[in-house]
Amino acid sequence: MPLTPAIESGDRSHGATAIESVAQLSTILEDTDPTLDPALGRLARQAAAEGIVLLRNDDAVLPLDGRTVAVFGRTQLDWFAVGYGSGGDVKVPYVWNLVAGLRDAGVTVDSEVADLYAAWCAENPAELTGTWGQWPHHFPEMPLDPAVAASAATRADTAVVVIGRAAGEARESILEPGSYYLAEEERTLLDAVTAAFARTVVVLDVGNVMDLSWLADYGDRITGLLAAWQGGMEGARAVAAVLSGETPASGKLTDTIARSYADYPSAANFGDPDANTYVEDIFVGYRYFETFAPERVLFPFGFGLGYTTFALTTQAHEVDGILRLTIDVRNAGTRAGAETVQVYVAAPGVMLSQPSRRLAAYRKTAVLQPGESERVQVSIAMDDLASYDDAGATGHRSAWVLEAGDYAFFVGTDVRSATAETTVTIPDVRVVRQVTEAAAPVLPFERMTLTRDTDGTARVATAPVPTATVDLRERILQQLPAALPVPAAPLTLDAVAAGEATLDEFVAQLTAAELADIARGDITMHSPLGAAGNAGVLGGVSESLRAKGVRPVTTTDGPSGIRLSAYASLLPSGTALASTWNPVLVRELTALHAQEMIRKGSDVLLSPGMNIHRDPLCGRNFEYFSEDPLVTGWTAAAVVQGIQSQGVAACPKHFAANNQETNRTRNDSRVSERALREIYLRGFEICVREAQPLAIMMSYNQINGVWAHYHHDLVTTILRGEWGYTGCVMTDWWMEEAVDPLFPALENSAYRVRAQVDVLMPGGVKTDAGPQSYADDSIAQSLARPDGLTLGELQRGARNVLGLVLALTPVIDART
């Protein structure tokens, strides 16, 4: 396959080497083939472009329509294509920068300013520290003489200023200039440029939401603003396409952008190294702002401008608990464009506090020409709008319920502008699902609730959070599986694949030592059993297992690309993908990405990252999708469906409530059962039910005092019991040592297996000296102890792992 066109000679970008030709690159790095699938590159560029959010476009400054531009800011060359850590550390053969992208799109770029930045950046290269988690949030800016800007304004009539930010794994954004806040040199740059130019467009090359309160300081001197997110190897080229008008702007925010950091409801309870109390409860993001503080919103959830205008006409009818909306979307403007129809619901909120609106459905149109229309069909099951009653306020504790009353539905193009279209009345309280208390808080705290003034104005109130009442030890003992009967004849896993034996029969013949081997990956990352540079290998990690037909399964990071020693594509970040509001496009992109997985030797992609954007400072927000669980769930399901359509596996992560990087392996997320289920688990539930991922990764943190990789309620009660999940559950890489407080005979991996966290990845025990051999013999020890791990539990976990191996065997065999 031919290489996607390389960036121009001399163009520089963060994470890529300037190259003149494929031949030159090959002489420098001969270990792998740098060619990439051009179809994947094109689709990645389309996704990056559709995810760009146009936040301001005064006086129709965009698209550029052939105007000459002067580009300011070093990020035009030192482009942040992705965030830091395992979610972005891909060996990519090229990354476009903005100057190259603009020229490729036919935009005339002022050469004097471009040459000035190129020379300065070459003399002052962007330095990435080699210390894990200490990467720079931004690169120092070139000092700009105002006379340079004034001179450029005589040659170009539009200025583009690029501001770049990055954060990542183990690297939060911080409340300092150059991270969440604008750096002083960036203010100086904006002062000079906006004083010289009548038209200034700011491009935010960022992975996380940053402070934008400075926009007020410049008023109408900043005429255009784009949230470009981090669009991967083709991201800067995608920005150029949107700026030039080659691609219409159509992205929508998946987060609320507030006027100040202090306005976010999580602000006072984020970043503590030991524990964070989720006092805001279900009022996360726009659920809080639209209910209690609409005046504190700078840009509302779902917002995004285009280059045209649309007219929406809605018809609605409800039959047997299904609301069907028919929405005609007409391009009423003069340019081509695409629009996202968003449907919100306001629940009664008499017995349970409810936000003023929450997202119920959305659909994106195709690109429509002026005057062209598209009819959008939306179906909403009322049962899907149920709320979780963790306190018994409705008379039905531990149940998903629909309160009696009117459910108002709003249709529009963002949460703020959506208008009322129809109402569905539920005559009586309806129990949609009766479940059981699970993962409830142990320590009491006060959570946010809602009260109203006499005039109906919503006010913040507080109430005690319900705490755990279940006898978890008794629950576990009642669910212990029996050991399987041993078959008369020895079997191989190939016999199971051929339908000549059952998986239970194969598992039953395995020794305790072989079962313990299945419960862990190979010793460390970069296992010799898989493709070079892999994240870890599971399944056939021992000779005896391989002799029985258990194939080694190779896992790789990650959400933005395949992290191996080989070259691979760098795709748009999670936020960029979600900002497309286009699951169909995401599914097409990830299906092509799965084909690259097969070529490169990856069997399980540790993706998608799908934790909630609880707070804008979380370092890994760029990997994740949204503050909203529906956007998160639908986007994640599209990723999983695309990857698994090609016979390989996706592994959503991090399950669950992994919402900060500070002390992430020990931090405790203290959250009500309602908020846990409605906000932090809901996206995972949607993904599991709609896409059936073959694997799931746990998070590092604790949830209400229990590490996720030991959390029986989270995995066995909810994931497997309530949602019916039958796939493989693995740890994040390594885990914290602990003894089960309910069953002291279980510790470490034995404790984990009882929770049905099937595989320790990568498999060795992590010590101060680094990963070692299989020193953890807690499974064997526990099997021999009274009240210890049972053979049936170990067999149950092996069944889950081998189900994954069987699903991947055709691809593995075809490759080998």
| CA-wise closest residue to 87 among 200, 2, 170, 163 | 170
Residue type at 550 in one-letter notation: V
* Distance between CA atoms of residues 620 and 81, nearest Å: 14
- Cβ-Cβ contacts under 8 Å for 814 (sequence gap 6 or more): none
Type of residue at 485: P
The three-state secondary structure class of 160 is strand
Q: Please give the single-letter amino acid code of residue 346.
A: A
One-character DSSP codes across 275-344: EEE-TTTT--THHHHHHH-GGGEEE-TT--B-SS-EEEEEEEEEETTEEEEEEEEEE-SSS-B--EEEEE
d(C-alpha 733, C-alpha 717), whole Å: 23
User: Would you please indicate which residues are annotated as catalytic (active-site) residues?
Assistant: 732
Rg from Cα positions in the chain: 27
CA distance 799 to 144: 63
Torsion of Cα atoms, 735 then 737 then 741 then 744, to 10°: 120
| CB contact at 8 A, 343 and 357 | no
Does an H or E element contain 645, and which?
A: none
Cα 673 to Cα 433: distance, rounded to the nearest angstrom:
15
Whether a cis peptide bond, with omega within 30° of 0, leads into 464 is: no
The residue assigned the tokens 């009664």 is: 348
Query: Would you say 512 and 791 are in contact if contact means Cβ atoms under 8 Å apart?
Result: yes
Q: Name which of 244, 197, 323, 329 is nearest 63 in CA terms.
A: 244
Furthest-apart CA atoms within the chain: distance in Å: 88
Closest by Cα among 89, 144, 75 to 112: 144
Q: Is 328 exposed, middle or buried (0-12, 13-18, 19+ CB in 10 A)?
A: middle
Residue 320 is encoded by which pair of tokens? 């047997």
Q: Indicate the SS3 state at residue 40.
A: helix
Neighbouring CB atoms inside 10 A of 772's CB total 13
How far is the C-alpha of 208 from the C-alpha of 618, rounded, in Å? 8
- CA–CA separation, 399 and 396 (whole Å): 6
CB 448 within 8 Å of CB 384: no
CA dihedral 202, 203, 206, 211 (to 10 degrees): 20
**77: Cβ contacts below 8 Å, ≥ 6 apart:** 11, 12, 13, 97, 98, 99, 117, 118, 121
Per the document, the length of the chain is 816
Quote the CA–CA distance of 547 and 567 in Å, as a whole number: 32
Phi first, then psi: what are they for 263, rounded to 5°?
-75, -25
Gap between the terminal Cα atoms of the chain: 21
Q: How far apart are CA 508 and CA 484, in angstroms?
A: 5
d(CA 206, CA 185): 17
